[in-house]
């Protein structure tokens, strides 16, 4: 795979309690320079990121209900509306894992659908990626959650927040790909720090990679030498 091809699958990410405006500005400059798919930030800095990405091909991704997914569906919908109003092209929302554990599949689907409905009303394309936090789930639960996400209107399913006890694995990516079929995106995130790991996720079925160490991942590839 060429360097530019892998870059085009990456969401370059800065999330968490120590993120600053200066850090987000730096992230966006790096995202443009590296040619990634998106820059992923918290809602607090969505407007800053939109301003810094203006005129580039890099999408703005904003997280919703992050990182635990336990806010009310109405709150997630409100977050989604604000994120879109501030320029978000993509929304990465976290499911309420407790609803899945209780087998409240109707509640789980409604939670995801609330955000998807906001995205569909945006008047422009806004993709919804649904974070399952796979490290907390059995394989059966991963499959159930992925299928509910698709039924609710999601564009992607995503492995992890990066704040759980473990991140993406190739086995989980392959499982999610089987669960959702070929028409839905699969995003691998959490613990992806080098070229080999990123390529393994792509080989397992990922169409998007979430990473903060994007430059390290891309350093292992060279467009001029790639086959």
Residues acting as catalytic residues: 92, 158, 187
* Residues 49 and 28 sit within 8 Å (Cβ to Cβ): yes
- Give all strands (DSSP E) within 17-173, no chain letters: 38-41, 59-64, 90-94, 127-131, 156-158
CB atoms within 10 A of CB 205: 18
User: Among candidates 52, 46, 149, 151, which has minimal Cα distance to 89?
Assistant: 46
DSSP 212: S
CA–CA dist 58, 63 (Å, integer): 16
**Could you write out the three-class secondary structure of 75-97?**
HHHHHHHHHHHCCCCEEEEECCH
CA–CA dist 1, 58 (Å, integer): 20
Token code pair at residue 54: 């203006």
Which residues 6+ apart lie within 8 Å of 71 measured at CB?
A: 65, 79
For residue 73, with 0-12 CB atoms within 10 Å meaning exposed, 13-18 middle and 19 or more buried, which class applies? middle
Token code pair at residue 179: 């669960």
Q: Coil, strand, or helix at residue 131?
A: strand
């Amino acid at each position: 795979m060429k360097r530019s091809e892998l870059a085009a699958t990456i969401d370059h990410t800065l999330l968490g309690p120590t993120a600053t405006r200066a850090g987000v500005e730096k992230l966006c400059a790096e995202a443009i320079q590296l040619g990634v798919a998106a820059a992923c930030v918290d809602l607090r800095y969505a407007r800053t990121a939109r301003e810094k990405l203006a005129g580039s091909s890099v999408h703005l991704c904003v997280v919703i209900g992050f990182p635990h997914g336990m806010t009310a569906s109405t709150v997630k919908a409100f977050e989604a509306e604000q994120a879109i109003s501030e320029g978000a092209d993509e929304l990465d929302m976290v499911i309420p894992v407790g609803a899945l554990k209780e087998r409240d599949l109707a509640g789980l689907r409604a939670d995801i659908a609330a955000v998807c409905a906001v995205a569909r009303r945006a008047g422009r394309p806004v993709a919804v990626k649904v974070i399952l936090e796979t490290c907390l789930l059995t394989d059966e639960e991963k499959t159930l959650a992925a299928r509910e996400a698709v039924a609710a209107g999601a564009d992607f399913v995503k492995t992890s927040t990066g704040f759980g006890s473990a991140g993406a694995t190739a086995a989980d990516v392959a499982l999610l790909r089987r669960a959702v079929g070929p028409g839905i995106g699969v995003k691998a995130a959490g613990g992806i720090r080098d070229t080999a790991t990123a390529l393994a996720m792509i080989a397992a079925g990922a169409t998007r990679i979430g990473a903060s160490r994007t430059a390290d991942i891309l350093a292992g590839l060279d467009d001029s030498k790639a086959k």
